[in-house]
Chains A and B, each alone.
Chain A
Amino acid sequence: MTETSRLWPCAIQGLIAAGGLLLWFVVTQSGEVSPLFLPAPDAVVNAWVALVRSDEFWPAVGVTLTTIAAAYILAAVAGLLTGWLITRSPLLTRAFEPLVSGIFAIPITLFFPLFILLFGIGQESKLAYGAVYGFFPVALNTIAGFAHVDRRLVDAARCMGLSRFGLFRHVLLPAASPVIFTGLRVGFFICFASVLGGEAIASAAGIGHNIALSAELFEPARMYAWIVCVVAAALVLTALVSTIERRFRDS
């Protein structure tokens, strides 16, 4: 690709970002849009500064992040184990792979009221809900990864006399790991979104709860300030995860 053809996309992206910001300014200044729905950019910036300095900011962030971390660890461990165990036999794979993928095609949010019923309004229900939702992509991709290793490579390894462990270490794991990593990544972002969503729908703490609360109290600038935090966190995490993934792929 030439220098100019790489420049154009950047220029267009910059223009769109600048245009979006400009539009935000103009629309809020004109008074066409209710400030309840869209406050002015400077109001959001002020609210954000006030929010980060307030006493409730870090505890709320801490609660949400701990819940996400705990939910994700549960989801990842359970998903990897389940996927591994199911692919130990072609029969189990055929029996349960459609079940896992079928359940994952249902929005598991449907079951959220059950989690509230069983675990209460506290963080436990969000933890369980995030863990269950995140479990499915990890399990599905672990199954897909191990069940669809190129048959010929396995045959070749057997003909060379690789031990069971050697087959796992040198063939199955490297062949399956890209697919499994995808599952782990998708699972993480599903945990992240599920915990936030759960907090927004029914909870007493956390970032999602604060977004919903700001909306209920008609404090749009504060709500936007929280949203900015979530968007920033999502972008940082996306970048982090793809860096980790690239590092793994290279080694």
Chain B
Amino acid sequence: MAAISVRAVSHSFGLPGKQNRIAALKNVSFDVAPGEFVTILGPSGCGKSTLLNMVGGLLSPSEGAVQVDGTPVLQPLPERIAYVFQESTLFPWYTVEENFAILLRCRDVPRSEWRTRTLAALTSVGMQDFAGHYPKQLSVGMRQRINLARGIASDTDILLMDEPFAALDEQSRMVLGEDLSALLGRTGKTILFVTHSLAEAVFLSDRILVLSARPGRVKATVAVNEPHPRPPDFMLTSDFSELRNQCYALLRDEIRLAMAEAVA
């Protein structure tokens, strides 16, 4: 059975019949197998995040259905799905450790294990020395690393990631991408990842869904047959650039369409 199953999902914002009604997604269907890393790639405004919000149970689609392990998603499912947002969603009024404590309390982890679990998660992203810091005291990149660690520490089978590296500079993105690939090779989580970076998509995914400009449809699927963890050298191979070019060719017209619509 598919870990995530999206069936004929369409979604619009605004009231039916109103001028400002926007069709964000149109008849999107796909499955994600257990342990698979699937990336949704598309021009800005094509409904990538909307789609992820539906899988996460934060939004109900206007039409169609989303299922996780065969059960329909009607609300957030904290035991099964962890969500890493675009920007750090660490609570600014708590220290890093307190932020983890809230999560672990929700996960019903016994209090005695909180500290070791927190440190383990922080160590996995190289942030073990910052448990006592407030988010404001850290750089954007550090915050997002911890945000990622918190998502992984949720210990769910499914991880949704909405452009988790968007706020980072290119160098940090690369390093974090490598870390993520290594981490996921070990844990075997099912991941649905949203990005508009071609290199990120190719480097991380088993499968890439290319979405069209608004309203988003699945325009094409690109498979990346390369085992995890992927070495940084993968980016230098001709396979990598070929896949990247293939994605760009699929996207180019859609990006222009999206930009034209954004101006109009």
Contact = CB atoms under 8 A, between A and B. Distances in A.
B106 interface: yes
B50 interface: no
A166 B106 contact: yes
A175 B91 CA distance: 9
Q: Summarize B's interface: helix, strand, loop or mixed.
A: loop
Contact of B93 (A162, A166, A175): A175
A159 interface: yes
B83 A161 contact: no
Contact of B76 (A153, A158, A170, A174): A158
Contacts of A161: 76, 78-79, 106-107
B102 interface: yes
A155 B83 contact: yes
Interface of A: 152-153, 155-162, 166, 170-171, 174-175
B118 interface: no
Given A161-B106, A166-B102, 17 more contacts: A155-B58, A155-B83, A156-B89, A158-B58, A158-B78, A159-B83, A160-B102, A160-B154, A161-B76, A161-B78, A161-B79, A161-B107, A162-B102, A170-B102, A171-B91, A174-B94, A175-B93
Contact of B91 (A155, A158, A174): A174
16 contacts: A153-B91, A156-B83, A156-B85, A158-B76, A159-B57, A159-B58, A159-B76, A160-B78, A160-B82, A160-B106, A161-B78, A161-B79, A166-B105, A166-B106, A174-B93, A175-B93
Q: How big is chain B's contact interface, by range?
A: 20 to 34
Interface of B: 53, 56-58, 75-76, 78-79, 81-83, 85-87, 89, 91, 93-94, 102-103, 105-107, 154
Nearest to B86: A152
A158 B85 CA distance: 12
A155 B85 contact: yes
A155 B57 CA distance: 10
A177 to B, nearest CB: 8
A155 B102 contact: no
A157 B76 CA distance: 10
Interface centre among B56, B86, B105 (most CB of A within 10 A): B105
A159 B93 contact: no
B102 A153 contact: no
A170 B91 contact: yes
Contacts of A171: 91
A157 B106 CA distance: 10
Nearest to A155: B58
A153 B91 CA distance: 7
Contact of A153 (B82, B89, B105): B89
Contact of B89 (A152, A162, A166, A174): A152
A152 to B, nearest CB: 5
The list of the 5 closest CB pairs from A to B, nearest first, reads A161-B78, A156-B89, A159-B83, A174-B93, A161-B106
B56 A159 contact: yes
Contact of B103 (A153, A160, A174, A175): A160
B74 to A, nearest CB: 13
B56 A152 contact: no
A91 to B, nearest CB: 14
Contacts of A156: 83, 85, 89
Contacts of A175: 93
B82 A159 contact: yes
B73 to A, nearest CB: 12
A135 to B, nearest CB: 27
